[in-house]
Amino acid sequence: MTMENTLRYIVLAGIFALPFIVFIVAQSLFFPFITGKNFAFRILVEVIAGAWLALVLINPAYRPKRSALLGAFALFVVVVALADALGVYPFKSFWSNYERMDGWITLVHLFLYFVVASSALNTEKLWRAFWHVSLAVSAVVGVYGLLQLAGVASLNPGFSSAARIDATLGNPIYLAAYMLFNIGIAAALWARAWQESLSGGRLWPSLLYGGIIAFDASALFLTGTRGAMLGLVAGVLVAALAVALSSREGRRAAALALAGVLLLGGGFFLSREQSWIQRVPSLQRLATISLDDSTTKARFYNWGMAWQGVKERPILGWGQENYAIVFDKYYDPRMYAQEQWFDRVHNIVFDWLVAAGFVGLLSYLSLFAAALWLLWRRGKPAFSALESSILTGLLAAYFFQNLFVFDNITSYLLFASVLAYVAWRASSDNPAVLLPSIPLKLAPAAAGLAVVLVWGAAWYVNARPLAANRALLKGLAPQQEGLQKNLAYFKESISYGTLGTQEAREQLTQAAAQIIRIEGVPAEVKQGFLNTAAREMALQAQSSPLDARFPLFLGALLGASGNYAEAIVALEEAHALSPGKQTILFELASNMLARGDAAGALATYKKAFDLEPDFADARILYAAAAIRAKEDALADGLLAPLVEKGGAADPRIASAYVSRGRYDKIAGIWEAHIERNPNDVAAYFTLAAAYFGAGNPARAVSTLETIGSVAPGAKAQADALIEQIRSGTAKIQ
């Protein structure tokens, strides 16, 4: 009994510790907001899985009960394993990377957690305590978010701001999904407490759960995540509709809730242009939802590319973590203004279609189907109509918001927890899953062996990835021993050959490209970085031969080192893998210019321009190449639409005209720009230089004299240049 109690306490302690991983921000690891939480989740799950397996061997009462959810989840794990094994890059599908920490390894951990939680949390008291811990943690996370908003807590550069909080999750959309779940959980607990209490004892539960709902909803709103906001609305509508259809007593309240949501939604839509809405960042973001919104357009383009990939591999897809390959292969040139390396479709349906095909998607949807069946099945219901309605609304809200974003470990954990709770309540009277039995006298030894095996596997799963991660971070940090030490750390990280190898190679390549440009770095150090980075990036390209990212990085690195002949081979390979991506064509054209192939560069820039003429950068680069090739009529035609808007005043255009001494052309373009942007001080200096270069010092002086009235702070600099012009010492630089 002592061993049994010890194992049980280990399992329960691990389960109750999991909600606290949201606080982990591991600054000692690469991707600190992601890796710390995920490694903690995996290790805790491995600990409780080992203890639970031993517990099952000692006492069969802890075996999982048969349920539709258990079967659906197990089937899903098997289907995804098959899809990953048959996918285009199985290693990454299994291990994922540091940025996401997803893949099959996370999925199987979630399944283990589901099995253990649905078996070990075997009383309502335990489940209620677990949910209370989760809600308390969510309140603390919300407070931290408010401190961010007040400027007291530090912000996460690149994602959060005073307008969009992310607390300890590192991304506003992750915080929004986390709060969405806790809102639904609080509502379900409130409903049960209301039904179990007499009218005089409902005040405190209402204050507690109602306060949590209001506070977490406010935090969700302050994330500015439109998908989660709309998901919350959709969840409320679904829950209210379910109540109206299933409970005669609750129809009036449900009808009022439906009317209230529709009234608020309609009022917001009609008032979306009002100044008070535009002054509130979260409301302003919500008000910008439209088919013309750039983010909305990008989502549609992304879905279109994903669909092309689905049609190519419809049965079991490409394997997890391989959407980047689909994104490159079917890249839509209209995505030029968006992130160039999407690794998620930002739509749960398409994400699973790409990762595991229609078989994988159906197995994923079976989780929702099984949960809904258990919530609403006839006969001996495990949930009241109100509880079933609220949990149905929660699942609907989660699914709806995932049509626009994607999961992270905190939302995965809460989703698996809800499924485990539904499975436990709905299957408590079901027979246990049949497992091999062992003689009672051998149970302690078998339990000890189970612990050793599972915890040994945990060491294998986590030790090397953690060591590789720390080595990578050291490689990126300044080292007292010098750059050679950085290179040694990069090599160490890659040598583990595990999770994060791709990222270590990419970071090494970027570091090498910077180092070879730095004067004062010894030639042997530059060569060491260059040779190592080129070799490792070539190996990465061999590991994932369908990914355009790696030959592009290799080509850019070789080009930066002056090895244009080998660079062009890698760049052409990248272009073949992603023919629609303009940034690859830009790199190709730049290589051609460096090799003196002006005609080839002009043709390549034309190809990039023709892919999407609305891409201003493509137009500018094409025009600059035309100027250098003395195709003046072509250049004038390309620049005409920009000149009219004052948008042709670009340093690349100026540089191209300077190379030919055509200062008159620069003057005409910058005159048009200043006419539309009279406060652009830098433009006045450029225009003055153009006048001076064109042999008109009087107009150059006149332009510089104008600067004093436009920007008094720049008058001294302008006066100094005027003096140089008048004294004959001025030079064009």
Which tens digits make up the pLDDT trace of 676-706? Answer: 988 888 988 888 888 888 888 889 888 888 8
Bridge partners, 432 (sequence order) = 65
Report the C-alpha gap between 486 and 521 in whole angstroms.
Answer: 13
Question: How far is Cα 190 from Cα 193, in angstroms, rounded to an integer?
Answer: 5
Instruction: For the beta carbon of residue 177, count every other beta carbon within 10 angstroms.
Output: 30
User: Is the predicted pLDDT of residue 437 greater than 70, yes or no?
Assistant: no
Burial of 263 (0-12, 13-18, 19+ CB in 10 A): exposed
SS3 154: coil
- Positive or negative: CA dihedral 584, 586, 592, 595: negative
Mean of the pLDDT values across residues 614-631? 94
Domain boundaries, the chain: 1-62+436-461, 66-427, 478-580
Rounded CA gap, 283 and 287, in Å?
A: 6
Residue 269 pLDDT exceeds 70: no
CB distance 423 to 122 below 8 Å: no
pLDDT digits (tens, 9 = 90+) for 141-153: 999 998 888 777 6
Whether residue 227 contacts residue 235, with contact meaning beta carbons closer than 8 Å, is answered with: no
What's the maximum distance between 2 C-alpha atoms anywhere in the chain? Answer: 104
How close are the terminal C-alpha atoms of the chain, in Å? 86
Q: Give the tens place of pLDDT for each residue, 537-562.
A: 999 999 999 999 999 999 999 999 99
Compute how many other C-beta atoms are within 10 angstroms of the C-beta atom of residue 162.
12
Is 280's pLDDT higher than 70?
no
User: What CA–CA distance (Å, rounded) separates 236 from 394?
Assistant: 8
> pLDDT band at 469, cuts 50/70/90?
very high
Average pLDDT, the chain: 89
Angstrom distance (rounded) from CA 705 to CA 679 = 14
User: Among 616, 662, 604, 681, which residue's Cα sits nearest to residue 642?
Assistant: 616
For residue 548, give both structure tokens.
């355009």
Most confident of the ranges 76-80, 237-241, 641-645: 76-80
Contacts of 467 (CB under 8 A, 6+ apart): 496
Q: Which of 246-260, 294-308, 402-416, 654-668: highest mean pLDDT?
A: 402-416
Judge whether residue 446 has pLDDT over 90.
Answer: no
User: What mean pLDDT do residues 277-295 have?
Assistant: 70
The pLDDT-based confidence of 250 (bands split at 50, 70, 90) is low
Rounded Cα–Cα distance for residues 416 and 570 (Å) = 44
Instruction: Give 249's pLDDT tier (boundaries 50, 70, 90).
Output: low
To 10 degrees, the CA torsion angle through 160, 164, 168, 170? -40
pLDDT value of position 722? 85
Tell me which DSSP letter residue 338 carries.
S
In sequence order, the 6+-apart residues with CB closer than 8 A to the CB of 445 are none
* Nearest CA among 194, 189, 137, 146 for reference residue 167: 146
Helices (H) and strands (E) in the chain, counts: 32, 0
Distances (CA, A) of 285 to 226, 282, 375, 546, 687: 7, 5, 35, 37, 39
pLDDT bracket for residue 239 (50, 70, 90): very high
Does position 278 have pLDDT exceeding 70, yes or no?
A: no
In angstroms, the Cα distances linking 119 to 49, 54, 589 are 11, 13, 61
Q: Is the pLDDT of residue 262 over 80?
A: no
Sign of CA dihedral 56, 57, 61, 63: positive
CATH of span 478-580: 1.25.40.10
**337 contacts: CB under 8 Å, gap ≥ 6:** 294, 615
∠ CA 161-177-123 to the nearest 5 degrees? Answer: 140
On the CB side of 702, CA atoms within 13 Å amount to: 5
Across the range 630-656, mean pLDDT stands at 91
Q: What residues contact 54, with CB distance under 8 A and at least 6 apart? A: 7, 446, 447, 448, 450, 451
Calculate ∠ Cα 341-100-294, nearest 5°: 40
DSSP, residue by residue, 392-436: HHHHHHHHHHTTTS---HHHHHHHHHHHHHHHHHHHTTSPBPP--
User: How many whole angstroms separate alpha carbon 124 and alpha carbon 350?
Assistant: 37
Provide the H-helix boundaries in 313-407. 323-329, 348-376, 385-401
User: Residue for token digits 């998607």?
Assistant: 361
Q: Can you tell me whether residue 9 is helix, strand or coil? A: helix
Length reported for the chain: 733
Work out the percent of the chain whose per-residue pLDDT is above 70: 92
Q: Which 3 state secondary structure label does DSSP give 183?
A: helix
Q: Is the dihedral of CA 576, 581, 584, 589 positive or negative?
A: positive
